[in-house]
A = this chain, B = another copy of it.
């Protein structure tokens, strides 16, 4: 028996009207939902309850969790600054399981294959459900309909928005920090486990009832520069190792070697050049995918040749962006997440490598953010449909295997480009209708494939600007037809059950789509 009704939202998707017993608002269109009420705020605390000498260290993580009042049904948050190298989240739920705690909501900023031990705690009832991107095994588990509650996927900005707006109340936040002092000031940019930044934990530090900092590098006060402020921290725990920073280079953050994808990256670069978007003082963001990274390299070559300097580039930073900064091709990197150790080094050493967070970059319930000021953004997708709607979370077989990351937030850039292969494993990527609608087509401007480029008809300006381009500009229908001819038809329909296993939130907290159980 489901405890929700399905209702049709503004993009025609049937979405649940409630999620795990709480009322949900269907997506109303981009910029249409007007938030009401005040931001969430936590209980007023007093320094009288904290040590005068500022030392908040407690014996171990279990002690900290118990002092923080860990109990059944709580929401526990963690963060993915170590990506696939996180060593803290699993420990939390091991402790909780041993204590017999049940029905926790795990609220990670993202989960990775390294979190597969969590499956045990989903099975034994320690965790009721996960709210956060699930890359790999946990998504697969949810896709089988096995998770007790409904998953909720949000973008990085949507996660900040949800916490800020009180949609998700975090009882205990646990922040894994490569360097910290005993007051709780902490940072990701130095220490043996340096992973770059801790921005995904900012909302948690500001809004969670209790905040625990776990570090393997305790330094004397003040740990400066600090990325998270000790004034928001309750307890500090020293452990042997918080994470393996070599694993931040994982999955989607390696450059492509595929000739097709290199071609796509080259065509994408030529497109932004032909469209007149690459000029002094411009800005861009390229996501973590291999094609996007290659785009950055081609773009850099063009900038060097033509002596063009960017105002800023947005990271996910990596060694290629760092080179651009160090070679004077951009004034700043505005970074949200370091994707390799060169990014970590640059963030630590270069004052123009700016440490940002989802409040600065992505929060839609704010007074503006950086995302909408970026001239062009290069993103990936698992599917795009004829209305330019994009999917980033499910495969064509319906399985939920990827997170949203900053993808939805980035769609607000002035020109959103998806360089994607026309097909993967002989399955066309351009489809009649995306399996899961993560981003509305009105925000997706250009699709670049190895066989041609489609410009969203809404972007008459881009069509006009590139009318003399030598690039193979086609309609999206033409691209779809080519893919289907090569692959022998449309992708098979996924075999889905009735049960909604995950809700996909839009940047404003409304439900843009949902994911069903795969049979």
Contacts and interface: CB of A to CB of B under 8 A. Distances in A.
A43 B34 contact: no
Interface residues of A, number: 63
A40 to B, nearest CB: 7
A369 B232 CA distance: 10
Q: Does more than half of chain A's interface fall in helix, strand or loop, or is it mixed?
A: loop
A179 interface: no
Interface string A34-51: 111111111111111011
B165 A44 contact: yes
B334 A222 contact: yes
A438 to B, nearest CB: 19
Interface stretch (A7-15, A360-368, A423-431): A360-368
Given A43-B37, A368-B47, A373 B221 contact: yes
Contacts of A164: 44
Given A231-B368, A232-B367, A281-B220, A183 B373 contact: yes
A100 to B, nearest CB: 29
Contacts of A42: 38-39
Contacts of A229: 359-360
A368 B221 CA distance: 13
Contact of A367 (B33, B45, B372, B508): B45
A31 interface: yes
B222 A354 contact: yes
Contacts of A183: 368, 373
Nearest to A507: B47
A233 B44 contact: no
A47 B222 contact: no
B412 A360 contact: no
Which of A45, A281, A354 has the most C-beta atoms of chain B within 10 angstroms of its own C-beta? A45
Interface string A355-395: 00001100111111110110000000000000000000000
Contacts of A365: 44-47
Interface string A232-268: 1110000000000000000000000000000000000
Interface stretch (A52-60, A119-127, A450-458): A52-60
A230 B41 contact: no
A43 B50 contact: no
A99 B372 CA distance: 36
Given A54-B373, A221-B373, A222-B334, 20 more contacts: A35-B44, A38-B41, A39-B43, A45-B366, A47-B368, A51-B368, A53-B372, A53-B373, A56-B368, A211-B367, A221-B312, A222-B312, A222-B354, A222-B370, A224-B352, A231-B366, A231-B367, A233-B367, A234-B367, A351-B351
14 contacts: A35-B45, A35-B46, A38-B41, A46-B365, A47-B365, A50-B366, A50-B368, A52-B373, A53-B372, A56-B367, A222-B334, A225-B351, A229-B360, A233-B367
